[in-house]
Amino acid sequence: MSAELQPAKRQTTPTSRGPGHALATGDAARPVAFDAHGAIELARFRREVRGVAAGLPDAPAVINLCEDRYRFLVAFCAAALRGQTTLLPPSRAPAMIDEVLARHPGSYGLGDVMPCCSTPTDALDRAIRLPEQLPQLDGGPLVVADDAVVAIGFTSGSTGQPRPNPKTWAAFRASTTQNLAALQDLLDAGITPTRTTPLVATVPPQHMYGMEMSVLLPLLGPVAVHTTRPFFPGDIARACTDAAGAPLLVTTPVHLRALVESGVAMPALAGIVSATAPLPAELARAAEARFGCEVRELFGSTETCVFARRRTAVDTAWTPLPGVDLHPRPDGTAVHAPHLTGPVLLADLIEVFEDGRFALHGRNSDLLEIAGKRASLGDLTRKLQAVPGVEDAVVFQLDEADAAGVRRIAALAVAPGLAAEAVMQSLRATVDPVFLPRPLRCVPALPRNETGKLPRRALLALLHGQS
């Protein structure tokens, strides 16, 4: 990074264009974050937000690249206090960061003491680094206007170009109220001003799921988040051990499977929350048996934030969060919610039951029709993953079509000791021949990103031997 945050020279005046609400709520002595060295209280957090805000440059927006989760919280709130929008790219690849910054002229990058990435990039050349010891300033309440766009989450569309999804502070507060209601019975029930539930998250705060669970919950609810983002099972166990009480683990199916299969000793957990990819019911049951707590799966998107929940070990149907209304359509589902300014159309196909719950039947874009027969990429992937010896797998559709104009299906499988033909032979027992993936390639590992998802570009590169 080219520059360090300038020392605070002035009291920061909160920007407000209308009615506003606090950036962080609760008793000044309540913890908002913790690590192996202890807890960080709200009073100190507020002073450091003011101190960092006072040293930020004037700009319309910022990409928050902080690896330390507490510093991400501070930087996010400092930017909001200065009227700046935090940009959340779909990945932190240098080219993607540069692309998002280019679409927001005058913006900059903000990171902590750790390098943001090893590849030189325009964003890093003009980024600001937070000092090891954050500046502090006393002052008034941290208030932001309800209509202030505090974040823009980006999703990759069919063209690969990031699509913006702006989030106002009012929308974030409303969605967080829903999330707190959805998790209420997993949080500490003790009613004291400083009582909090510790939370450990394996997902990055730059992802919308990570933003909702590990940034907004500690800011607006009785939750304190671990400052790190543990990746390996041993690191997750150590972070959970740092908690003063039983922590809530926020994770993904990929991290959860590794944790279950690792055999690492874990302290008692308040619960486990999973999202970003479908959670297999057998994995949910194995995790509940292994860790002695409920595994709760959340359903949402960057466009909508979280809007439904289920206990996957025993339930197949999803329960919408309070105030959420779903309307199935031939091409997807229209989501209505208190935190959305209008209905949002998702490609997910659902069936709504009389009790208000719903079943998910895949995505419109995942449906296949070949020779008058129908299947879904999600179901084909589950069948491939169920083949004995297959540890991980994905089925996806290629861009090119065959002579009949049908787009071919391909697959990648992680199956140590098995040849691709052996995997295919097992798959023939459960899959109609017209939907057998050709080619099917066995690989050492799938190119999952930090939230466990599989970028299409990376899948195609691996399939064609370009990894």
Calpha distance 206→254 (Å, rounded): 18
d(CA 322, CA 179) in angstroms, rounded, equals 9
The CATH number of residue 129's host domain is 3.40.50.12780
Q: Are residues 164 and 260 in the same domain?
A: yes
**226 and 98 in a common domain:** yes
Backbone angles phi, psi at 407, to 5 degrees: -70, 130
Residues 6+ apart with CB under 8 A from 395: 377, 380, 381, 384, 409, 410, 411, 437
pLDDT at residue 112, as a whole number: 86
Helix, strand counts (H, E) of the chain: 13, 28
Of 111, 207, 193, 181, the C-alpha closest to 450 is 207
Nearest CA to 1 among 52, 72, 89, 63? 63
Tokens of 126: 């003009």
**Closest CA relative to residue 366, chosen from 344, 385, 351, 347:** 347
Helix (H) or strand (E) holding 74: helix 69-81
Q: Is 242 inside a domain boundary?
A: yes
Residue 187 has what pLDDT?
A: 92
Helix axes 69-81, 42-55, angle to 10 degrees: 60
> Is 128 found in the same domain as 248?
yes
Residues 231, 93 within the same domain: yes
Exposure string of 364-384, with b = 16+ CB inside 10 Å and e = fewer, is: bebebeeeeeebbbbbbbebb
Check whether residue 270 and residue 377 sit in a common domain: no
Distance CA 93, CA 98 (A): 9
Residues 210/201, Cβ–Cβ less than 8 Å: yes
Q: What tokens were used for 380?
A: 């084909």
In degrees to the nearest 10, what's the CA dihedral of 18, 21, 23, 26?
160
Which tokens is 8 given?
């605070």
Q: What is the pLDDT of residue 115?
A: 46
Instruction: Identify whether residues 187 and 294 lie together within a single domain.
Output: yes
Query: Is 378 found in the same domain as 249?
Result: no
Residues 297/310, Cβ–Cβ less than 8 Å: yes
| Domain annotation covers residue 447 | yes
pLDDT at 215: 97
Same-domain pairing of 246 and 379: no
pLDDT of residue 159: 42
Give the pLDDT score at 22.
Answer: 95
In-domain check, residue 79: yes
325 inside domain: no
- The domain spanning residue 414 has which CATH number? 3.30.300.30
Provide the number of structural domains found in the chain. 2
Local mean pLDDT, 10-residue blocks, the chain (467 residues): 62 61 95 96 98 96 94 98 93 79 90 55 71 95 96 70 88 96 88 85 93 97 96 96 96 94 95 93 96 97 95 96 93 93 91 94 78 80 92 88 71 94 93 90 90 86 79
Question: What's the CA gap between 378 and 396, in Å, rounded?
Answer: 9
Same domain, 270 and 382: no
Of the candidates 330, 320, 321, 318, which has an alpha carbon nearest to the alpha carbon of residue 360? 318
- Which residue, of 245, 266, 298, is where some domain finishes? 298
With a CB cutoff of 8 Å and minimum separation 6, the contacts of 459 are 394, 396, 412, 446, 447
Block residue for tokens 């450990």: 200
Structural domain including 449 reads 371-463
Same domain? 101 vs 193: yes
Cα angle for residues 24, 88, 102 (degrees, 5° grid)? 130
Angle at 252 between CA 362 and CA 461, to 5 degrees: 70
Question: Do 269 and 161 fall within a single domain?
Answer: yes
| Residues 159 and 244 grouped into a single domain | yes
- Choosing from 263, 298, 333, the residue where a domain stops is 298
- The domain boundary residue, chosen from 248, 266, 298: 298
- Which pLDDT belongs to residue 161? 63
